[in-house]
């Protein structure tokens, strides 16, 4: 994308930097969602039947985590490109450079 001058490019970069580095969900929201998930699971317990070597607590913990993750995903803001990329199985990040990871 051509932005005209270097000055315009820097302005655009500073404008979008806060969106790029933005947290998916604020900590306060995470704790609130977790508390609501625990309350929901206490009110509507799981119908989990323990497998051999597991207890009912395994099902309860799994239920709380699934409920929390589902609610956090609802709060997460994503761009139009990210939504389209997810539906089309495209990468959610675009780069003009190629990167290679070397394990040393």
Confidence of residue 99 (pLDDT cuts 50, 70, 90): confident
Q: How confident is the model at residue 19, as a pLDDT?
A: 61
**pLDDT tens figures, 17-64:** 666 655 566 777 778 888 999 999 999 988 777 777 777 777 888 888
Task: Compute the 3-state secondary structure of the chain and give helix, strand, coil in percent, each to the nearest 5.
Answer: 60, 0, 40
Report the predicted TM-score, pTM, of the whole model to 2 decimal places. 0.51
d(CA 67, CA 44): 12
**pLDDT tens figures, 76-97:** 777 777 778 878 888 766 677 7
Q: How confident is the model at residue 27, as a pLDDT?
A: 72
**pLDDT tens figures, 63-77:** 888 898 888 878 777
Write the CB contacts of 82 (distance below 8 Å, at least 6 apart in sequence): 92
Per-domain boundaries in the chain: 23-76
Average pLDDT on 6-23 reads 66
């Amino acid at each position: 994308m051509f932005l005209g001058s270097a000055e315009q490019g820097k302005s655009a970069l500073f404008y979008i930097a806060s969106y790029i580095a933005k947290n998916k969900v604020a900590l306060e929201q995470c704790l609130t969602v977790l508390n609501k998930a625990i309350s929901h699971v206490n009110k509507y317990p799981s119908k989990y039947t323990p497998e051999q070597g597991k207890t009912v607590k395994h099902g309860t913990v799994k239920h709380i985590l699934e409920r929390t993750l589902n609610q956090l995903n609802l709060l997460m803001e994503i761009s139009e490109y990210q939504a389209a990329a997810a539906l089309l199985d495209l990468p959610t990040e675009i780069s003009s450079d190629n990167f290679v990871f070397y394990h040393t």
